[in-house]
Amino acid sequence: GVSQHTNGFYNVLGWMTVNMLLGNIDAKGGIIAASTYDTKGKGKGELFDVTKLAGSGSAFGVSSIRHGVDYEKTTLFEGYPARRNWYPLSSDIYQETIPSIGDAYPYPVKALIQYMGAPTYALPAGHTNEEILADVDKLPLFIASDILIGSTSMYADYIFPDLTFLERWEFQGSHPNIPNKVQPVRQPVIGPIPEEASVYGQSYPISLETLLLGLAEQLALPGFGADAFGDGLDLRHPDDLYLRQVANLAYGEEPDGSDAVADADDREVEVFLAARQHLPASMFDPARWEAIVGSNLWRKVVTVLNRGGRFEDHADAYDGDRVAHPYGKLVNLYQEKTAKTVHAGTGKRYPGYATYVPVRDYLGAELDAYRDGYELQLITHRIISQTKSRTVADPWLSALMPENGILLNASDAERLGLGDGQEVRVVSATNPRGEWDHGAGNVQPIVGKVITTQGIRPGVVSFALGFGHWATGANDVTIDGTIIKGDQRRRKGVHANATMWTDPTVTNTCLIDPIGGSVSFYDTYVRLETV
C-alpha cells in the first residue's frame, strides 16, 4: 500500500521511523524481522552446501535492470539524466526488465526466459510491455515457462510447460508477521500433468527445472551433472537439489547437529510411503531419495516432509516482551548510504531521512497536468477469491463473484449521474482512449459496470484484480491445427491497469519509486465515460 507510489520509499521510511521512536522494533506486537530455518547448508558441518556448484562461474557486468550499482561508477556514465533510472539501493526491479529491453539500455538483449510471471497483466501500465514483446527486432527470442498460455507468455516464441503448486517443490521461507522461526516445504502431492522428459539420463516432468537442466546438458555447462555439488554429489535431477535442502533443514542450525529433528519411527515412515505411493517414480522413488540424502539423514527428512516443513514451537516466539529472534542490528534515523546516492534522472542526492516527496516523474517534475479533466483517483484491490492473474482458472472461485466492476462512492455516482450496473469506460491522461491494444488488431476496451458503495472514499474509484482477461484461457487458441475454445467466464469484468499513468519522460513504463523501485498503483487520476 504505502510503498506503491513514486514516493513509496519515504512513505515506508516514515512509518519505520515512527516505530523506531516508539521503541517497537523487536518488541512483542511491534516490527519484527522474519526468521527462517536454513536450507542452504553453507558452513554448517556435515550439511550439503547447495550454494556452491563445482566449476560454475559468477555473474559479471551491469545487470539489465541496473540494480545494485551506482550509475556514476560505471563506464556507461554520460552525465544526467541517464536514459533510464539506476537502482543502486534496490535488488529486483521487475517492471524495468521488458522496458529496458525495449530501449536496449544498458544494452540490447538477444533472448529472454520468463518464469511464471505475467507483467503485462500485473503491472500498472503493463500494456507498454506488449509492443516490446511483439517486436522481434528488440527481442529476437522469447521463451516462457508457464502452466498456461498467459497474458505475457502468449507473446513467447516457445512455451515450455511447468508444474502447478500441487506438483512442485518450494521453500517459501517466512514473513515478518510470524514471530516464530519456520520453513514450510511445498512438495508434490499429485502426479504431473505435463509429459516426462529425460535429462542427464533421469526422467522428470517437463518443467522449469527440466528446461534448465536440459539446457545445461546440451551446452555442457559446468556446475551441473555429475559431481556438481562435490565428489559423488550430482545435480542430474531436481530432487538432487530439493531433497538436500530438506536434509539441511532437518539437520538444523548447529554444526554438530545438536538441534536436528528426531528420526521418524517405523509408523511415520509407513505413513510417508503410503501417502506418496500414487506418484510416478520420476517424482517419488524412496530408494533414490534415501540415496540422495544418505541413510543417516533419511528418517529426519521423512520427519520434516511429513509435517510440511519445520516449525518452531509456538511458545518459543518471545523472550518476555521481546521477540526471541530479534533483528538486533543498528537502525538509523539518518541513512548515510541513501544520502550519498544520486538520482540518475536529476543528478541530485536523495534525502537520508523520512520526508514528504511529491508524486513525480523520472526527471523530478510533478504531474499536475495529468490531473486536468480527470478528477477520480484510481486504486485497485484484491478479493480473497481472486488474488493472482491465474486464479481465474478455478471455476469454483468465479462462483463466489462472477465479475468485478468499478467501485464508486454513492455520492460520486449521484453527482456524475451514474447508477449501479451502468457500463463506463475508464480513461486517463496517458490512455485517453481507455483500451488495451494487444497487437494484431486485438483491441480490448477498458469498460466495466458501476458498483456504488459507501465503502470507498468519495473521489476514489477501484477495481478488483483478477478479472477482464484476454488470455489465460479466455481466448481461442489454435494448437497443432486444433482450435481450443476460450472460456468466456474468464473475460468477464474489467482490468484497468492500462489506464495507470506512464512516465512522461520514460514513456514505455509505469511511474516508479526511484529508490526502492516499487511501482505506482495509486497515483493515477481517471475519468469515467458512459458507454
CB atoms < 10 A from the CB of 162, how many? 25
In angstroms, the CA 502 to CA 524 distance is: 9
What's the confidence (pLDDT) of residue 196?
Answer: 96
Per-residue DSSP letters for 132-163?
Answer: HHT-TTT-SEEEEEESS--TTGGG-SEEEE--
Query: Torsion angle, CA of 235/188/310/287, rounded to 10 degrees?
Result: -60
- Residue 90: CA atoms inside 13 Å, Cβ hemisphere, count? 23
Pairing status of strand 141-146 against strand 158-161: parallel
SS (H, E, C) 81-137: CCCCCCECCCCCCHHHHHHHHHHCCCCCCCEEEEECCCHHHHCCCCHHHHHHHCCCC
Pairing status of strand 435-437 against strand 443-445: antiparallel
In angstroms, the CA 303 to CA 317 distance is: 22
* Mean residue pLDDT across the chain: 95
Asked if residues 506 and 355 have their Cβ atoms less than 8 Å apart, the reply is no
Tens-digit pLDDT profile for residues 469-521: 999 999 999 999 999 999 999 999 999 999 999 999 999 999 999 999 999 99
What's the confidence (pLDDT) of residue 46?
Answer: 66
What's the confidence (pLDDT) of residue 57?
Answer: 83
Per-residue pLDDT of the chain (531 residues; tens, 9 = 90+): 789 999 999 999 999 999 999 999 999 999 999 999 999 988 766 689 998 888 888 888 999 999 999 999 999 999 999 999 999 999 889 999 999 999 999 999 999 999 988 999 999 999 999 999 999 999 999 999 999 999 999 999 999 999 999 999 999 999 999 999 999 999 999 999 999 999 999 999 999 999 999 999 999 999 999 999 989 999 999 999 999 999 999 999 888 889 999 999 999 999 999 999 999 999 999 999 999 999 999 999 999 999 999 999 999 999 999 999 999 999 999 999 999 999 999 999 999 999 999 999 999 999 999 999 999 999 999 999 999 898 999 999 999 999 999 999 999 999 999 999 999 999 999 999 999 999 999 999 999 999 999 999 999 999 999 999 999 999 999 999 999 999 999 999 999 999 999 999 999 999 999 999 999 999 999 999 999
Three-state secondary-structure class, residue 348: coil
What's the confidence (pLDDT) of residue 59?
Answer: 83
What does DSSP assign to residue 13? H
Asked if residues 102 and 502 have their Cβ atoms less than 8 Å apart, the reply is no
- Cell for 392? 481465474
SS (H, E, C) 190-246: CCCCCCEEEECCEEEECCHHHHHHHHHHHHCCCCCEEEEEECCEEECCHHHHHHHHH
